[in-house]
Structure 1
Amino acid sequence: MEWKEITTIEEWDAILEKSAEKGQVILKHSTTCPVSFNALDEYDNYLADKPDQEIDYTLVKVRESRPVSNKIAEDLDVKHESPQIIYIKNKKKYWTTSHWSVTKAHMAAVID
């Protein structure tokens, strides 16, 4: 399974709406941060294994898509961090973690 990158607020709005029907996992990724590259590897490793097929997986590059990143933080009432993973259900934050806590094992424990 692979993630889909979003770059517009309209794409984000659609994901938030869709979370009422299907879980959504967002990884906020900084393309200039080594910790974020580690988190992206963990995200990819989780998706390469046996991820929950009933969930959509998304990536937002925080520097390149700053308005989208800011809107996510605002809509979900979460402090912006990068890297940051957010699991959304029913248009609300269900779980979030950041930095070195973004691991395949942590994702599996919460999402699976």
Structure 2
Amino acid sequence: MEWHSLSSAEQLEQIKEESKNQPVVIFKHSTTCSISATAKSRLERQWQDSGLEQVKPYYLDLLSYRPISNQIAEQFSVRHESPQLLLIKDGKVQYHGSHLGINLQEVKKHSA
């Protein structure tokens, strides 16, 4: 799994446009939270066998870029949680999950 860093608010418009050609996920991660670390580790382990090679993964460090997380919540009308994974396709959120409820089978189903 090759993460792409989400570190500027300007990238959100690019991600929306990009998602019209290729599904995108944004993983919001708190680097000091053990649940978030567990969710990230599980996501990375399961990604290889998930059949999601066509989905581009973005990583947001919440502690460094909290304003971007707030903008994501506002722009996509999804309440902020951490950890949280959002699947964006055609400029809209198709799936979102949080904590240990993040489900790559659901991501696969909604990204097709």
Q: Same fold (TM over 0.5)?
A: yes
Secondary structure of the 1:58 match is strand
- TM-score between the two structures when normalised by the length of structure 1: 0.88
Q: Where does structure 1 lack aligned partners over 5 or more consecutive residues?
A: none
Maintained 8 Å contact 1:2/1:44: no
How far did residue 50 of structure 1 move? Answer: 4.6
Q: Name the stretch that deviates more: 79-88 or 47-56.
A: 47-56
Match of 2:36 in 1: 36
User: In the aligned structure 1, how far is the partner of 2:50 from the partner of 2:101?
Assistant: 20
User: In the aligned structure 2, how far is the partner of 1:53 from the partner of 1:16?
Assistant: 19
Q: Is 2:81 the partner of 1:84?
A: no
- Whichever residue aligns with residue 62 of structure 1, its letter is L
Distance of aligned partners of 1:99 and 1:23 in 2 relative to their CA distance in 1, 3 Å threshold: same
How far did residue 74 of structure 1 move? Answer: 0.9
CA RMSD of aligned residues (A): 1.5
Match of 2:94 in 1: 94
The count of aligned residue pairs is 109
Maintained 8 Å contact 1:36/1:82: yes
Q: Where does structure 2 lack aligned partners over 5 or more consecutive residues?
A: none
Secondary structure of the 1:67 match is helix
Q: Is 2:105 the partner of 1:108?
A: yes
Q: How does 1:1-112 map to 2 (within 5 A)?
A: 1-102=1-102, 106-111=103-108
How far did residue 60 of structure 1 move? Answer: 0.5
Secondary structure of the 1:97 match is strand
